Structure 1
Amino acid sequence: MATLTPVSVALPDNKVPTKNAIRDIVATFLTKEWPSVDPETLTTSFHTSFANNHCTVERQKPTGTSTEALKVFMKFHKEAAADMDIFKHLIPTKQEEALFCHEYGRSGLGAKVYGFFKTQDGTLGRVEEFLDARNMEPEDAENALIRADVARGLAMFHVMEPSLAKKAVEPFYEAVMSGLERYHRMDKLKALGKDGGVSVDNLIDYDFTTRLKKVVDKLESVGGKVGWCIHDVQFMNVLVKNDPKEGQSKIVLIDFEFVMRNYRAFDIGGHFMQKMFKWFDEESRIADCRKYTEEEKRHFCEEYARQWNKLTGDSDTGDQVFVESEYGYMLAIAFDVHNMLCFMSEEDDRDPLNLLGLDKLFDEFVDQYARLGLEVP
C-alpha cells in the first residue's frame, strides 16, 4: 500500500513514538490481530539517524494460529537539512518513495510495504515487513556467493521500470558541484576540523568541482550506462538474509530516499568504496579490513554484466562494467564528501571519528584520480 493514510496519532516533541502510538499505527494497516494487542507487551527498538528514525516492533505470539506478522519495521521520516534541498527537485517525494518501495517489494526483491502514514503532527512514515536479516559486513564482500548476489541485486535494481518519472542525469551533478563549490575554502569547516583535532584544510581547499566534472566527462566518453541508482550504498543498506530459501538471493537492498537516475557506475563503484567504512560504528568510521581486490571487483562486474544482459538484452562485458566502476568510485566519494560537509556545516559537527572518515574519503578520491591519470594540469 502506498496511499497516504492519516492516523489518529501525534508524536511527542522528541518524535519518539510511545508504545500506544506504535500499536495504533500498525493496527491501521494490520487490522485483524494488532488492534487488540496490549501496547505494554510490545518489544520495541527505536533508532535515530541524521536522515530518518526507524523502529522494529514485535508482539507476543498469540494462542493458536496467527494470520498477521508478529514483527514489523517502521520508518519515521525527518525533514532534510536545508542544504540538502539542492537535491529536492531530483529525489522522490516521500509518497513516491513509498510507492517505489511497494513496487520493489511486490517484485519479490524487497520487503512488503503494509502502509504509508501521516501522523497528526505531520510526520510521514511507513510500516513494512520485517526481514530476518542482518546488515552486510565488510568481510561478506570477500564471500564470492554473497558478492555475486549483491552484483545481481544491483543490476536488477538498476533496470527496474518503476512508476517514478525518469529525469536526466546532468542536474544531479550540477547540484553536487554547486554544493561542493559552496564548501570550497570555507573557514567555518576548517575551524570545526581543528576543534575536533583533525585538520581538513587540504580537503576544504581541494577543487572537487573541476575534478568531478572531468570524471563525469570521462565516464560519458567510455559509454557509461544509466539506471535507477540507490546512491546510499553503505553496507548497512544491504541486508544479508539469515535463512534464505533455496534458490533465493541472500541479499536485500534497502533505503531508497535518494533513488534517481544516474550512471550505474555510481552504485557499483560506491559499493567497492563503502567496504572500507562503517559509518555507525562507535569506535571508528573506517572499517578494519582490506580493500576490494581487483580480482573481486572483476568477479562482481562479470556477475553484474551477466544479470544486466539477461534483463536488457544488451551484450555488456565485465570489463566494460569494471571500467565504468573505476570512475563511479569517485562519483560516490564526491557525493559522500558533499553530504558530510553539509552535515558539518548544519550541525557544527566536529566529531573526530567523522572527521577521520571524511579525511579517508578525501585520500581515496585523490589516489584514484591520480591512478587513472586524471590530474588537473
Structure 2
Amino acid sequence: MSGIDIDKARALDLGITFVGDEWKCLQEDDITVSILSGGFSGRLYIVEDVSNSSNKNPNKKFLVRLYGGKLIDKDDVCKAGKCETSEGIVFFANAMKGLGPKLLGVFDGGRVEEFVPSHRINEVDLSDENTERELIRKLARFHALQVPVSKKKRDLLYISATYQDEYIRENILKIINRLDLSCDCIEYLDEDYEDEHSFLRSFEAKVGGRLVFCHGDLNRNNILYRDTPDQFNERVMLIDYELAATDYRGTDLSLWLMNRMFSLNEDGSFQQVTDWPDINHRRMLVTEYLNETRKLNYFEFDENGIDTVDHVLMEIDFFTMYGMQLVKGFFKRMANNEFFHQQSDVLLRSWISFIPSSGKIYAQHKKYFIENYSKARALDLGITFVGDEWKCLQEDDITVNILSGGFSGRLYIVEDVSSTSNKNPNKKFLVRLYGGKLIDKDDVCKAGKCETSEGIVFFANAMKGLGPKLLGVFDGGRVEEFVPSHRINEVDLSDENTERELIRKLARFHALQVPVSKKKRDLLYISATYQDEYVRENILKITDRLDLSYDYIEYLDEDYEDEHSFLRSFEAKVGGRLVLCHGDLNRNNILYRDTPDQFNERVMLIDYELAATDYRGTDLGLWMMNRMFSMNEDGSFEQVTDWPDINHRRMLVTEYLNETRKLNYFEFDENGIDSIDHVLMEIDFFVMYCMQLIKGFFKRMPNNEFFHQQSDVLLRSWISFIPSSGKIYAQHKKYFIENYSKVL
C-alpha cells in the first residue's frame, strides 16, 4: 500500500482479513475502490463487491481509513497526546455503545470500518426538531465515554496561538488576488490575538463546566443521517473522532451550534443558511442534553449549580468564543499549505468570505457575554451610573446574581460585598436586560413600544415617586435603584389600607404624561393573534406529562370569534377614560417596601414593559382578577380568594376616583363617566377583555420550549388555571349581561 493510495489487491486482502468469508471468493475484477474523501486529517476509501453474487454478500461495502491528512497531519499541535492507537480505541468504544459504525479491523497506518448507508446531515433533516434532539443525545453519550486517553484538558487557545503565530499574510494575499477580492476580507486576520486570549483566559476558570470526552470536530461532514434507524431507533451518527480529547462540554455544544449555521456543498464550499440559534432553541437543546446526561449517571449531577440549564447556556456563550479563536488560527495558517491553494475558486471564495463573517460572529458573542455575565461589566455600570464608591472596588468585591429570568426581560442584582460595603449608600443595584423568554421585543403585545419608551415610562414613574429610580441606561438594558422590599402577599393585603394604597398608586400611574403612543392598545387583536397560533399537540405534551385529563384544555379548544364579536359590540358603549395603563398587574410586579416612601406609603409598582394607552378599566379589572391568586417562589400559583364582592369593589373604585380627582389631569365628570357606578361597569366589562388575552397567552405558551422546561409543580398550577379561567369568564359574561346589557 502506498502512502497516498490503496490498490485493489490490498483492499481485497483487507476484506478477506476483517470483513467476512464472502470476500474470499472474489477477484480483483470483482471489486471497486473509490476515494470517498481526501480529508484534511485523513483519507477515506469505499470498497465495494460488484460481482454477480454481490446481492448475497451481507457486507458488500466497507470503508478503509488511512491516517495522515493534507492540512492536519499526525504531528499537528491539535492532535498532541493522541496516536493511531488511541484513535482506534475511541472508534471501538463509540461502536460498542452503538453510537457509530463498527470497527472491523486495524492495521499499520489505518483501519477498516463498517459502511452504514447514510448521508451528511442537511437542512431537510434539521427541519425536524427531533433530529437535532437526537444529535444532542448522541453527543451526551459520546461525552460519557470512558476511554484510556489523556484526562489533561486540551488547550484550544494554545492551539489557536500556535496557528496564528504561523501567519504569513503574503500567502493569503495570493488567494485574494486570484479571486479579485478586496483586502478588507482579511482585516480580521490581521488583528493580534493576545488581548482576546487574555480576555478569555481571565474568564475560563470562572465559567468552567464539566470536563468530558469531547468530539472536537462537529461540522456537518462528521454527522451522518442513516437511511435506516439504529438500535435506539435513531438515525443520527457521529463519525471522525481524530480530534477527540478531554475538554469542557461547552466547547462541543457551541461548536455544533456554530456549525449548524452553515450548509456544506458537495464541492467543499459552504454558505450560511441560518443565524445563531435563538435562546429558546439553545435552551431546548441544553435541556435535552442535560436530561440525557442525567440518565447516563457518570458523575454526581448538580441540578442547582454547574448542571443547570442556565449554567450550560453560559458555557456555550463563552466557549463559542474559544471555538472562533481556533477557527481564526486555522484560517491564518491554512494559506501556508499548498493543498489549500489547489482548491477550486468556488470553495476558496466561500472560505475567504467567511473570514469577515467570523469576525462579526466573535464580536457579537463577546458583546453578549460581557452584557449578560461579566462582573467587569457590572462593575463598570456601578462606576458609570451608581456612585463614586464603586470606583474603589475590584471584581472580587462584588457579586452578580440573577434575580429573575422573566418572561419579558432578565433582572440581575449587583452587590458590594467588600469589607467597606457598610459605608456604601448604594451597595446594591439592579441591571435589567431587555428581551424575554416568552415575550420578546417583537411580540405583538409590545407593538409600538421600544426600549426608549420603556425607559421614559420608568423615569417618569420614578420622578413622581411611584417606583425605583432610574440610575442609567445603556444599549440593551438599564440600571435601576434597588429598593428593599418583597412581592405583595396575603399578609400585606389583609390590611385594607395596603390595597387602598395600591389603588392610589395606580391612579397616579394612570395620570403620567409620557411621550408614548396615544393610540389605544387593542387587547382583542393581541388575543386573536395569540389564539391563531394555537397548536393543540403542544399543550397535549404537557397534559400527558402531568397525567392530566384533556378536559383541562376544553376551554382552549373553543373558538374566540363569537366572544370577540360580543365584546366588540359593547366596547364603545362601555368606554371609559383612556389612560396610560400598566398592563401587567400581577403580584410579581407589585412590591411592598421594607420602609415607607415619601408619601409614607409602602406599595410600589414595577415592570412597565407592557404599559400602553388603554381604558382604565383594563388595569382595574386585571388587578382584581390577579388579587385572587397567590404567587409562590417556584412560579406556581393558587387561588386564595374569590372575585371581590361589590362592597370591596366599590371601596376600591371610590379610592381610585378620589385620588384621580386630586390629580386634576382631565375635567372630572362625577355624574357620568367618572361616577363610581360607571367605573364599576368598566371593570365588569374589561375584565372579560383581560380574560380573552390570558386565554390567548395560554394557547400560545406551549409553542415555546421555555414553557416546557418549567417544573411539574409550576405547569400543573398553570394548566389547572385553564378551566378556572373559563368559569371566571362565563360568570363575568353572565353578570354583565344580566346587569348592564339592557341599559346599554
Q: State the TM-score, normalized to the length of structure 1.
A: 0.84
* Equivalent position of 1:197 in the other structure: 547
Classify the secondary structure of the residue corresponding to 2:473.
strand
1:19 matches 2:383: no
Answer with 66-75 or 150-159: which moved more: 66-75
Superposition deviation, residue 276 in structure 1: 2.3
* Equivalent position of 2:434 in the other structure: 77
In the TM superposition, what are the counterparts of 1:230-269 in structure 2 within 5 Å?
230-245=582-597, 247-269=599-621
Q: Distance in 2 between matches of 1:237 and 1:125?
A: 18
Q: Which amino acid aligns with 1:48?
A: G
Superposition deviation, residue 80 in structure 1: 6.1
* Equivalent position of 2:735 in the other structure: 371
* Equivalent position of 1:97 in the other structure: 454
In the TM superposition, what are the counterparts of 1:28-47 in structure 2 within 5 Å?
28-46=384-402, 47=404
Q: Deviations over 1:254-276 (max 9, x none)?
A: 11111111111111011011022
In the TM superposition, what are the counterparts of 1:92-171 in structure 2 within 5 Å?
92-118=449-475, 124-169=476-521, 171=522
Q: Distance in 1 between matches of 2:426 and 2:433?
A: 20
Is the alpha carbon distance of 1:173 and 1:264 closer, same or farther for their aligned partners in structure 2, counting shifts above 3 Å? same
1:179 matches 2:179: no
Answer with 147-156 or 241-250: which moved more: 241-250
> How many residues were matched structurally?
358
Is the alpha carbon distance of 1:336 and 1:40 closer, same or farther for their aligned partners in structure 2, counting shifts above 3 Å? farther
Is the alpha carbon distance of 1:197 and 1:60 closer, same or farther for their aligned partners in structure 2, counting shifts above 3 Å? same
1:51 matches 2:408: yes
Q: Is the 8 A contact 1:32 1:68 kept in 2?
A: no
Classify the secondary structure of the residue corresponding to 2:562.
helix
Larger radius of gyration: 2
Is the alpha carbon distance of 1:283 and 1:82 closer, same or farther for their aligned partners in structure 2, counting shifts above 3 Å? closer
In the TM superposition, what are the counterparts of 1:212-227 in structure 2 within 5 Å?
212-227=564-579
Q: Is the 8 A contact 1:278 1:286 kept in 2?
A: yes
Classify the secondary structure of the residue corresponding to 2:478.
strand
Q: Distance in 2 between matches of 1:313 and 1:19?
A: 51
RCO comparison, higher one (Cα < 8 Å, 6+): 1
Q: Which amino acid aligns with 2:386?
A: L
Q: Is the 8 A contact 1:138 1:289 kept in 2?
A: no
Q: Distance in 1 between matches of 2:446 and 2:589?
A: 21
Q: Distance in 1 between matches of 2:493 and 2:561?
A: 31
Q: Distance in 2 between matches of 1:209 and 1:272?
A: 26
Is the alpha carbon distance of 1:219 and 1:12 closer, same or farther for their aligned partners in structure 2, counting shifts above 3 Å? same
In the TM superposition, what are the counterparts of 1:305-316 in structure 2 within 5 Å?
305-311=657-663, 312-314=666-668, 315=670, 316=674
Q: Distance in 2 between matches of 1:283 and 1:163?
A: 34
Q: Distance in 2 between matches of 1:225 and 1:77?
A: 30
Classify the secondary structure of the residue corresponding to 2:638.
coil
Q: Distance in 2 between matches of 1:335 and 1:138?
A: 25
Is the alpha carbon distance of 1:204 and 1:42 closer, same or farther for their aligned partners in structure 2, counting shifts above 3 Å? same
Q: Which amino acid aligns with 2:539?
A: L
Superposition deviation, residue 187 in structure 1: 4.3
Superposition deviation, residue 320 in structure 1: 1.9
Classify the secondary structure of the residue corresponding to 1:10.
helix
Structure 1 unaligned runs (5+)?
1-8, 119-123
1:352 matches 2:716: yes
Q: Is the 8 A contact 1:97 1:256 kept in 2?
A: yes
Q: Distance in 1 between matches of 2:510 and 2:581?
A: 6
Q: Distance in 2 between matches of 1:55 and 1:341?
A: 30
Q: Distance in 2 between matches of 1:203 and 1:310?
A: 43
Is the alpha carbon distance of 1:186 and 1:30 closer, same or farther for their aligned partners in structure 2, counting shifts above 3 Å? same
Q: Which amino acid aligns with 2:487?
A: N
Q: Distance in 2 between matches of 1:281 and 1:65?
A: 29
Q: Is the 8 A contact 1:138 1:275 kept in 2?
A: no
Is the alpha carbon distance of 1:324 and 1:82 closer, same or farther for their aligned partners in structure 2, counting shifts above 3 Å? closer
Q: Which amino acid aligns with 2:722?
A: L
Structure 2 unaligned runs (5+)?
1-365, 709-714, 739-744
Q: Give the RMSD, CA atoms, in angstroms.
A: 2.9
Q: Deviations over 1:149-181 (max 9, x none)?
A: 111111111121112231234x44323223224
Q: Distance in 2 between matches of 1:246 and 1:228?
A: 23
Is the alpha carbon distance of 1:51 and 1:12 closer, same or farther for their aligned partners in structure 2, counting shifts above 3 Å? same
Superposition deviation, residue 64 in structure 1: 10
Is the alpha carbon distance of 1:283 and 1:248 closer, same or farther for their aligned partners in structure 2, counting shifts above 3 Å? closer
Superposition deviation, residue 331 in structure 1: 1.8
Q: Is the 8 A contact 1:181 1:209 kept in 2?
A: no
Is the alpha carbon distance of 1:71 and 1:283 closer, same or farther for their aligned partners in structure 2, counting shifts above 3 Å? closer
Superposition deviation, residue 63 in structure 1: 5.2
Is the alpha carbon distance of 1:60 and 1:117 closer, same or farther for their aligned partners in structure 2, counting shifts above 3 Å? same
Superposition deviation, residue 110 in structure 1: 1.4
Percent identical residues: 20
